Structure 1
Amino acid sequence: MSLLEIRNLNVSFGSTAHPFHAVSGLDLTVNRGEIVGIVGESGSGKSVTMLAMMGLIDAPGRVTADQLQFNGQDLLNMKPAQKRQIIGKDIAMIFQDALTSLNPAYTVGYQLMETLRLHTPLRGAALKRRALELLEQVEIPDAKSRLDAYPHQLSGGMSQRVMIAMAIACEPKLLIADEPTTALDVTVQAQIMELLVNLQKQNDMALILITHDLAVVAEVAQRMVVMYAGEVVESSATETLFACPRHPYTQALLSSIPEHSKGARRLSTLAGVVPGQYDRPQGCLLSPRCPYAKESCHTSKPALLPLAGTNVRCFTPLDANGIPTHE
């Protein structure tokens, strides 16, 4: 049995008469001990998907799904009190921008111990010992003195490590890392990714990495899910996706990696932006930006269908040579 099963997840905002669909018909399966990368531009619905799964979408947002199951438990019909026992303990999330996620009015130690108080029986000296162990586990130097530090006294990389410590405090079965390396320099990015992967292996937990940068997760994720404008456009094993992208959007993302443009005068780009609430195309959501779009792409919506070891949402998927099949 899979650890996480999501079927036909939909998240919308705005009025019911004219809703904005931030996520549409999303299916996702995550197995125990697996690392899954969810990639796409800003506005693709990556973070909203995970927030919806955790029950963190407030009104006027609306969340519906055919199935939302974690570790055999039905999250859709679970009472709020039951869900609070799971969220933060068995499912943990590292949110974007650690400096704004930490409370500036409380010390690092207080915030770590607050998480432990809510989900474990630890109290007193045992609580403080566990908080110190967590800071040491995420390799924060001089961890004992950091317990009394406030967030503004930490660097960006150190703040991110504190957020990771809080997330793994209760040894979750599933850890979601939302843009864990944003705003960090390249050296610190590599350290944070290495730390996350090591913790994932030590605790045998499933790890979902949300990012707009394919290169960040290329070497660590076993499986990749590519999202665009709230829809999954391609999903496959990481090796398969990098060797033979089937969707034009995936091809464009891969082409934008600097290493793929060596010798070229300009970095490859995809013109346009992810459509918002008021510029949603009638057909395929990528059609206004897609260099391979044909007439049917502008009038009909493609379904996500299996193709040679991958799933792709496209009327003219690319072949093994990167050529659209209608040409």
Structure 2
Amino acid sequence: MLRVRNLGVRFGDSVAVEGLDLDVAAGEVLGLVGESGSGKSVSMMALMGLIDPPGQVQAEAVEFMGRDLLRLRPRERRQVIGREIAMVFQDALTALNPAYRVGDQIAEVLRAHLGLRGAAQRQRTLELLEQVEIPDARSRLRAYPHELSGGMNQRVMIAMAVACQPRLLIADEPTTALDVTIQAQILDLLRRLQKEQGMGLIMITHDLGVVAELAQRVAVMYAGQIIETGPADTLFDQPRHPYTAALLAALPERSRGQARLPALPGSVPAGVDRPAGCLFAPRCAAVRADCHAARPAWQGVVRCLHPRVPQDEEATA
């Protein structure tokens, strides 16, 4: 359904995304994970056409259902974005317009993409609020975002995103700043809507617990590159990239009995100060001399000069 090849995003001399390849099948749930600053949100914003100058987006192909989004005229692109591809943004309270009632904001989506007006528009707006399980939905239609809780605003954002029954939904950290109980409710809601509508779902998160619960396949990002991808079960059990292994080692449930959680030294390299070799080399515990000299090429499932060997392959060897 979605095919992205060699996507790059730059802001002046700063590299935000580099050489990103991504595929998403119809109805698939993909978890896009990595530390803050890895390029997860920026890459999806580029897909949506939401990178404004001075940002620059380049790619060999960004194809959705066989149509290259980069080559569509603005009017044609607007018919796809928001209708067939929709996005739930990270902070609902800032993403929603504070000057308009939430019912009017959902109605705007229906009017722009489906041409609904009058009673049909009002009825569909009410149905969407009920679909995302907002209590007393009829009275909430006239509420402003600041009158709703964080969880309620997130549900309004989801209602707007699924209003036109998109084929692909991108959820950018949809549980950020919500308490644990509300997080679970939002994840259950997304899972239910994804199954009911059969849509593809890209879940952007740094919470590996969310990925383990929701995703069928995982793509791990670091410094603007995808450095490993694979089925969720396989990647969690036998990570090939040292960075993926380090992320998993930092999970509390994998560190029981230890005095401290394992932690990676340093931070993600800045967009203007990128190492000449492997971007992870300065922080890698398994680094070798050639890692500093050559940028690893993509090897089908991992981007590493010396990937970890799965246990079953070691036994076979």
Matched with 2:61 is: 67
**Aligned partner (choices 95, 98, 114) of residue 92 of structure 2:** 98
For 1:91 and 1:247, the matched residues in 2 are separated by 31
**Aligned partner (choices 225, 230, 239) of residue 231 of structure 1:** 225
Cα-Cα RMSD: 1.2
SS at match of 2:214: coil
When normalised by structure 1's length, the TM-score is: 0.94
For 1:58 and 1:122, the matched residues in 2 are separated by 30
Matched with 2:280 is: 286
Matched with 2:209 is: 215
Post-superposition Cα deviations, 1:53-108, rounded to whole Å, max 9, x if no partner, equal 11111111111111111011121110000001110000000011111001111001
Higher helix share: 2
Change (3 A) 1:278 1:10: closer
Runs (5+) with no aligned partner, structure 2: none
Matched with 1:117 is: 111
Post-superposition Cα deviations, 1:164-213, rounded to whole Å, max 9, x if no partner, equal 00000000000000001110111111110110010000000000000111
Q: Bigger shift: 210-219 or 155-164?
A: 210-219
* AA matched with 2:4: I
2:120 is the counterpart of 1:130: no
* AA matched with 2:8: N
For 1:44 and 1:292, the matched residues in 2 are separated by 21
Q: Bigger shift: 312-321 or 163-172?
A: 312-321
**Aligned partner (choices 8, 11, 14) of residue 6 of structure 2:** 8
For 1:115 and 1:122, the matched residues in 2 are separated by 9
**Aligned partner (choices 129, 147, 150) of residue 153 of structure 1:** 147
Matched with 1:162 is: 156
SS at match of 2:70: coil
Identity of aligned residues (%): 62
Q: Is the 8 A contact 2:15 2:272 kept in 1?
A: no
* AA matched with 2:9: V
Cα drift, residue 321 of structure 1: 4.8
Matched with 2:302 is: 312
When normalised by structure 2's length, the TM-score is: 0.97
Alignment of 1:178-197 (within 5 A): 178-197=172-191
Runs (5+) with no aligned partner, structure 1: none
**Aligned partner (choices 34, 39, 43) of residue 40 of structure 1:** 34
Post-superposition Cα deviations, 1:239-278, rounded to whole Å, max 9, x if no partner, equal 1100100001000111111111111110111111101034
Cα drift, residue 232 of structure 1: 0.6
Post-superposition Cα deviations, 1:96-153, rounded to whole Å, max 9, x if no partner, equal 1111001111001110101111011211011111000000000001111100000001
Q: How many residues align?
A: 313
SS at match of 1:225: strand
Cα drift, residue 279 of structure 1: 2.8
